[in-house]
Amino acid sequence: MAYKPSQRRSFEAEPTEPNLTPIMNLMVVLIPLLLSSAEYVKLGAIELNLPPVAGPLHTDQSKLTEGSQSLNLTLLITRDAFFVSNSLPENPGKQMAGVEIKREKNAPLRALQNQLYLIKAQTPGYYRDKDSITIQASAGIKYQEIIEVIDAARTIKTGDREMELFPVVRLSAGVI
């Protein structure tokens, strides 16, 4: 025959507060870790600008002053060559000057950098966008090639020093 359990031995569990100390310790460690890693994510990004929205099509040349003209320098990347051109402010889309640079296998971007260096040296300082270039890529160009061209368009190494060419880079999807 089974005996009935004793009334003295039974007890009810008292409600207790949860121990938040380990969770708070985890937060104290994780928050600075996440904040410091967010800074490294910013360093890995490439700064790019979108091309400006087209303004008025016709401008009065007599009203143009220093800093009001645009160079509109554009670099088109194709499989076989690079095309560097700019358009006149009074006739957007009409080519004023164009240079074709063949892509070489042994030094693919050196010829491009040299041509951009010549353009930078010959460009008068009164253009408001004298430090910017718009890059367009034809279909089938790999992303890595576009990044290499962006880097080549920003700086050139001459001798033992590095010079800035066109630090403001814009990406364009189509023909401007």
DSSP assignment of 124-145, as one string? -TT-TTTTEEEEEE-TT--HHH
- pLDDT at residue 26 is higher than 70: yes
Q: 175 or 4: which carries more pLDDT confidence?
A: 4
> What confidence tier does 31 reach under pLDDT thresholds 50, 70, 90?
very high
State residue 57's pLDDT score.
46
The CA angle 96-102-105, to the nearest 5 degrees, is: 155
The answer to whether 157 and 122 are in contact (CB under 8 A) is: no
Question: How much is the average pLDDT of 39-57?
Answer: 61
Question: 68-172 is classed in which CATH architecture?
Answer: 2-Layer Sandwich (3.30)
How many beta carbons lie within 10 A of that of residue 91, not counting itself?
A: 12
**Angle formed by the axes of helices 110-122 and 143-154, to 10°?**
40
Count helices and strands (H / E) in the chain.
Answer: 3, 7
Q: Are 88 and 96 in contact (CB under 8 A)?
A: yes
- pLDDT score recorded for residue 22: 94
Q: Note the pLDDT of residue 28.
A: 95
The answer to which of 25-39, 82-96, 156-170 has the lowest mean pLDDT is: 82-96
Tell me the two tokens of residue 57. 């099509």
Q: What does the pLDDT average to over 129-158?
A: 88
Lowest mean per-residue pLDDT among 35-49, 123-137, 162-176: 35-49
Please check the confidence at residue 64 and state whether its pLDDT lies above 50. no
Question: Would you state the pLDDT for residue 25?
Answer: 95
Q: What is the pLDDT of residues 68-101, one digit of tens each?
A: 677 788 888 888 888 888 764 444 444 445 777 7
Q: Where in the chain are the domains?
A: 68-172
The pTM of the full predicted model, rounded to 2 decimals, is: 0.60
Residue 62 pLDDT greater than 60, yes or no: no
